[in-house]
A and B are shown apart, each in its own frame.
Chain A
Amino acid sequence: MSSLTVTDEQVSATPAKMIQPAWVRVMHWINALAMVLMILSGWQIYNASPLFGFSFPREYTLGGWLGGGLLWHFAAMWLLMINGLAYLITGFATGRFRKKLLPITPSGVLQDVRAALTFKLGHDDLTVYNYVQRLLYAGIIVVGVLIVLSGLSMWKPVQLYYLVMLFGDYPTARYVHFFCMAAICAFLVIHVLLALLVPKSLRAMIIGR
């Protein structure tokens, strides 16, 4: 490595490996917007009849009042559902889910959790997800499917009665919907924090490499 220096010309002249294909990036950011809209408007709706002994601060809700929150929620749901469905179809069709998220083994997860907690988890190759990432990304897809299904159950409890039955009854679907939201918020905190700790992963999600 004696005489090696990196100049701007060299860096830009060397095509870097594509880490995140365009469809992933586009759908990721559409989903991010849709999720933020759904969460903030969902908090507004929650506040109209809280399930627990707390409300969300009004400054972090969308819509101004219940009616406005509902309008936002039932508008952003199309963005979330259509984009989410396209993501699932493309993810399965291109084999990305299989290649990137599988296998997930308990020993692999444990090993990577230990490595992460001792700051030894490498991010040398962003094209390969470690086991913690695989678990979280696969898990959040499942949660995403659940929150849409529980949401549809609450939206159309008569027309989609069989969906409601999946959760038991209408009030249970409401709790499922809430806890999925909580899981997504927890994921969001970790996800954003780690993206900031490994900025090149954020860059890859923006420009692809």
Chain B
Amino acid sequence: MAKRSFLIPGVDKRLLIKDSIKTMPDVSRRRFIAGGASLGALTLLTGCDVIDSSSAEEMLKSVSKFNDAVQAFIFNPDALAPTFPESAITKPFPFNAYYDLDDAPDIDGADWKLEVRGLVDNKKSWTLPELYKLPQVTQITRHICVEGWSAIGSWTGTPLRDFLKLIGADTRAKYVWFQCADKDGYNSPLDMRSALHPQTQMTFKYANEILPRAYGFPMKIRVPTKLGFKNPKYVVSMEVTNDYKGGYWEDQGYNSFSGS
């Protein structure tokens, strides 16, 4: 900086800078220490056991509830998830759960029954052969996991909205709540508008074969407008209800709507 100019008429810039430097580093240093401290506090929050971050957690929960409302608001019941040609199917389609495949529910299809509860006219339980008789459709859609990865698969089954109509469900109710055979009792609530979405399906087949154990035999609920964890496998019961009954992952903090 060879050129010397006047920042303020009548004041030597170099002297002015010299003067300001006397105060400057202090201010900036304090700023950065303060910044560093708050950054440290944030990283402390990463281990819930390290410090009590209950107020932060309450704030985050409130925002997550707000995000549920925002997602319900922008949810377009007519917007279809993109469908793909068979050539786009991901092979092998990943098995994903919080347990190993060996620990996945091993259900005997002959004994299994789908229990129907709550705000429905007909609460009869359904056997697998009875369900297989219902009209089925096939769709090839992208499964998006909450972890970020995605995979394209082919699912065949009965649109859930057709089944809900068949059993005389009160579709003004808020949720369809699914319970599963997984250990620890996996369950998940599905908001009624998503349940009535044309692509939401009671799935009995994967890639035109009877649903294998890895993908949720005997029945999975495929919801291409939701993240994967809202697509319950090994379903044993569905309940039409106005009560929010929580869910396995939802209770641990995953956003409850988790729509796509």
Contact = CB atoms under 8 A, between A and B. Distances in A.
Contacts of A11: 11, 16, 19-20
B197 to A, nearest CB: 10
The main secondary structure of chain A at its interface with chain B is helix
B147 A71 contact: no
15 contacts: A11-B20, A14-B11, A37-B42, A64-B48, A67-B249, A67-B252, A70-B255, A74-B255, A156-B71, A156-B74, A156-B259, A170-B144, A174-B148, A196-B28, A203-B20
Interface stretch (A41-49, A85-93, A105-113): A41-49
Given A161-B82, A199-B24, A64 B46 contact: yes
Interface in B36-69: 39, 42-43, 45-48, 59-61, 63-64, 67
Nearest to A69: B46
Interface in B133-167: 142, 144-150
A5 B15 contact: yes
B260 A159 contact: yes
B230 to A, nearest CB: 13
A171 B46 contact: no
B172 interface: no
Nearest to B29: A199
B110 interface: no
A170 B142 contact: yes
Contact of A14 (B8, B17, B39, B59): B8
Interface string A188-209: 0000000010011011001000
Nearest to A174: B148
A4 B79 contact: no
A124 B5 contact: yes
A84 interface: no
A157 B260 CA distance: 5
B187 to A, nearest CB: 17
Contact of B146 (A4, A46, A66): A66
A49 B147 contact: yes
